[in-house]
Amino acid sequence: MFDRCKWFLIAIALLVLCAGLAAAQNPASGAVPGTLNYLEGSASIDGQALGARSIGSARVGLNQVLETQQGRVEILLTPGVFLRLDNNSAVRMISPNLIDTRVELLRGEAMVEAAEIFKENNLRIVVNGNSTLLSKPGLYRFNADHPEVSVFDGEAFVTIGDRQIKVTKGHQVLLTGAVKANKFDRDRSHDALYAWSNLRSEYAAEASMQSARTLVVGGPGLGWGYGWYWNPWWDMYGFVPGDGIFYSPFGYPFFSPGFVYAAPYYGFRHPFGYRGGALAARGFAGSRGFAGRGFAGSAHFSGGGFGGGRMGGGHR
């Protein structure tokens, strides 16, 4: 009887494990540029109201308009790039293609977080008829009501008529009057949209780690791939790099399955271990983000499944 119970429990555990692995291994089947990844408050696509069940399935298609009322949304662009739309704002999808991704900010404000951009990507945000090419990973802010492009981190090229202006970290361009790049105080620009984007970036990193941990089960050879992976525990897509670690502009890590799998060979105690809200691995320390190889502090990582999957079961 004992042996039968033991094997029954093992079989159940394997079924749960395989189900989780299959869910996380379904790479970006529905994740194309414009996919809704998070919703808070009220928003709509072409006038059709969005709800919690729209997350992961609703998409902003060609020439469709996504708008918020009292709410904020996060949509996916190319893998590793998130667009976050503020309250009372609207964007139109000009081109939803992976190698040609263009979005127009019609009103309000938006922030774009880019953990990775390939040179083949033509990733552009249009404001007031002016196109901005995002050329490097970074953090970018766009304002349509007071036409402006701000680069918190990274590098962008703003095209105005026949002119192209290079905008680097800590600079912004007013898209009216005499157009030139000027320095701005990044610290004093940390408003509610910035704080919300920071929090969303932290959750995205946690979803990435959960997906990477699931993908690594069973060792290499599982067809790991770079891209978006649906994470059923977090009800969102997580960005999984193809190799190594990538960092968000806020300092949060995105782990590749290969890195998680090889972690013991880098001297880590355990690639999946957590202790006191921090990754229990050698050298992981600091208040937020990585310090060298270190990470700890504000990320709410907890052992075995991030506090039950959704940290209380609600949408973020």
Q: Give the DSSP letter of residue 110.
A: E
> Among the residues of 27-176, which ranges form H helices?
none
The values of phi and psi at residue 6, to 5°, are -60, -50
Q: What is the pLDDT of residue 167?
A: 96
177 pLDDT exceeds 90?
Answer: no
Element (H, E) at 186: none
- How many CB atoms sit inside 10 A of residue 272's CB? 17
What is the Cα–Cα distance from 236 to 207, expressed in whole angstroms? Answer: 8
Where in the chain are the domains? 36-189, 193-311
Tokens matching residue 4: 């039968």
Q: How far apart are CA 37 and CA 81, in angstroms?
A: 12
- Asked if 122 and 206 touch (Cβ cutoff 8 Å), the reply is no
pTM for this entry:
0.76
* Residue length of the chain: 316
Model pLDDT for residues 124-135, shown as the tens digit of each residue: 999 999 999 999
pLDDT digits (tens, 9 = 90+) for 14-68: 333 444 444 444 444 468 999 999 999 999 999 999 999 999 999 999 999 999 9
**CA angle, residues 271, 276, 279, in degrees to nearest 5:** 20
Q: Which of 153-157, 203-207, 226-230, 269-273 has the lowest mean pLDDT?
A: 269-273
From the candidate CATH numbers 3.40.462.10, 1.10.3210.10, 2.60.120.1440, 3.40.50.720, the one assigned to the domain spanning 36-189: 2.60.120.1440
| 181-193 confidence digits (pLDDT tens) | 899 888 887 899 9
Residue 246 pairs in a beta bridge with 254
**Contact at 8 Å (CB) between 174 and 183?**
no
What values do phi and psi take at 111, rounded to 5? -125, 135
On the question of pLDDT at 6 being above 70, the answer is no
Mean pLDDT (whole number) for 265-283: 34
Nearest to 197 by CA among 135, 118, 124, 251: 251
